[in-house]
Amino acid sequence: MKVLLLLALASLLSAATSGFVIWKAADLKNFASKLHSKINQDHTANERLPDYEGHAVFVVHREGTGLAEIHETLAHMIYVISGEAVVVVGGTMSYPKNIAPEQTVGTSVEGGEATRLAAGDLVHIPPKTPHWFKVASGAQITYVMMNLESGGP
């Protein structure tokens, strides 16, 4: 009986903390080397972390300038782990192409605001906002990106 009670108590305690996860800074920095071998033709690799409360979370590693993006209902919250890049936000996307219900990509962004990003920076990109990461030759950037649903138009 005592064993069953202890098991039930342990189950309740673990349920109370389920969903709590911590990624240490050192663990996050290791993603740059881990994702380096998975770089695709767009100079990008990513790994999806577990979803919590319906929010998709990714670690993204870029070793060159890729495609511009825009999302109708998704916002991004981005925390830079390492490296640097210029993010261009706003303006007009060049040669847009819808590749998924929630994602349009293009070759670049014209007329947006360019801001240099480095380790420790936190960025919010609202829905319906073109954005484009420009990574200098020989440089890289690694960041955590959480997709946040805005609830529609």
Q: What is the pLDDT of residues 95-132, one digit of tens each?
A: 999 998 888 999 999 999 999 999 999 999 999 999 99
- Classify 12 as helix, strand or coil: helix
Helix (H) or strand (E) holding 13: helix 2-16
Would you say 78 and 123 are in contact if contact means Cβ atoms under 8 Å apart? yes
- Classify 134 as helix, strand or coil: strand
Give residue 26's pLDDT: 85
Give residue 148's pLDDT: 87
Tokens of 106: 């293009």
Give residue 18's pLDDT: 61
Query: Tens digit of pLDDT for each residue in 4-48?
Result: 333 343 444 444 446 677 888 888 888 888 899 999 988 998 989
pTM of this structure: 0.81
Tokens of 31: 């993603």
Q: Look at 47-61, 81-95, 134-148 and tell me which has the smallest mean pLDDT.
A: 47-61
DSSP-assigned states of every residue in 59-128 = EEEESS---EEE-SSEEEEEEEEEEEEEEEESSEEES-EEEETTEEEESEEES-EEEEEETT-EEEE-TT
Q: Look at 1-15, 74-88, 131-145 and tell me which has the smallest mean pLDDT.
A: 1-15
Q: Is the alpha carbon torsion for 35, 55, 20, 11 positive or negative? A: negative
Domain ranges of the chain: 21-149
Classify domain 21-149 at the CATH class level: mainly beta
